[in-house]
Structure 1
Amino acid sequence: MWLHVLVFFTTFFFMEFMAWFSHKYIMHGFLWSLHADHHKKDHDSWFERNDAFFIFYAVVSIGCFLLWQNNILEIGLAIGLGIFAYGLAYFLVHDIFIHQRFKLFRNANNRYAKAVRRAHKMHHKHIGKEHGECFGMLIVPLKYYKN
């Protein structure tokens, strides 16, 4: 039981590194064509090509559930739930809180919320794939916690 809890939280926190890595080296690298519309909206659709990245992590999470269900990987459920929980947190923070794709959490103004917004704003000031900063999501550099 405790192993599964530990694996869940380890997976959740490891996903912040994966988000940073895939954002910096994949989204701003060889798959910029999918991510570019997130930095410079060039369409009228509510959906973005960038949304395809959620599908990748959803498939990995579902794969872990299936490995667990078929008794191939005992900790597969904990890993799959950790990936899912991070994806949900990412969606809530990035798509709802920051980009307001749904009009919720508009009045969140605590220190952490302001720091997340500042860091993401600095990331989006670059509309090209080069010269980016702040590629993570939930862990924000201390310099963005200014008052």
Structure 2
Amino acid sequence: MQVVIYILIAIGSFLGMEGVAWLAHKYLMHGLLWNLHEDHHHKEQYGFLEHNDFFFLIFATPGIACLALGIYTEATFALYIGIGITAYGFCYFIVHDIFIHQRIKWFRNTNNSYLLGIRRAHKMHHKHLGKEHGECFGMLWVPMKYFRDKKTAA
């Protein structure tokens, strides 16, 4: 029974990270920390690495801390929170940096409607070059309209 609880904690942490990512993207990246995120919306001005890549360190820190806490103390639940956070970070990297932005030229073409919807939503997010008037701040869960609107396919 305890294993099931730990698995549920990891899954819950993974799912909760979508909310954390949405809030951080909308209110930090497009707010107080815009100076780090701005180059991501103006990719043609920069090389392979962006200031935006520093967010990897910001978001990885809680995951690493939870993994360490869970491994080196009796707080086993923290290990599974760290696993959920780390798994989300890995998925975010694959979907955002590799699939959507093609920073590494893998997964270029797909007919998968879920992946196409996510790509459409992110394309609409990048339509806004400034920090205001943005839309679609999530990554793995986006509004249904992006799964229906085939004309904005990337």
Letter aligned with residue 110 of structure 1: N
Q: Which residue of 1 aligns with 2:69?
A: 67
Structure 1 or 2: more helix by fraction = 2
For 1:20 and 1:72, how far apart are their aligned partners in 2?
31
- Write out per-residue CA displacement over residues 88-131 of structure 1, whole angstroms, 9 at most, x where no aligned residue: 00000000000000001111121111111110010000000000
Most deviating of 49-58 and 121-130? 49-58
In the TM superposition, what whole-angstrom CA distance separates every residue of 1:55-114 from its partner, at most 9, and x where no partner exists? 112111110011112215221110111000000000000000000000011111211111
CA distance in 2, matches of 1:56, 1:129: 20
Determine whether 1:53 maps to 2:55: yes
Q: Quote the residue 2:81 is aligned against.
A: 79
Q: Secondary structure at the match of 2:48?
A: coil
Aligned-pair identity in percent equals 54
Give the one of 11, 14, 17 matched to 1:12. 14
Q: Quote the Cα distance in structure 1 between the aligned partners of 2:125 and 2:74.
A: 40
Look up the SS of the partner of 1:75 in the other structure. Answer: helix
Q: Where does residue 41 of structure 1 map in the other structure?
A: 43
Aligned residues of 2:39 and 2:46 also touching (Cα < 8 A):
no
TM-score w.r.t. length of structure 2: 0.92
With the length of structure 1 as denominator, give the TM-score of the two structures. 0.96
Write out aligned runs for 1:130-141 (5 A).
Answer: 130-141=132-143
Question: Which residue in the other structure is 1:112 paired with?
Answer: 114
**How far 1:42 moved relative to its partner?**
5.9
Inter-CA distance 72–34: structure 2 relative to 1 (3 Å threshold): farther
Note if 1:99 corresponds to 2:98: no
SS in 1 for 2:30: helix
1:50 aligned partner, one-letter code: N
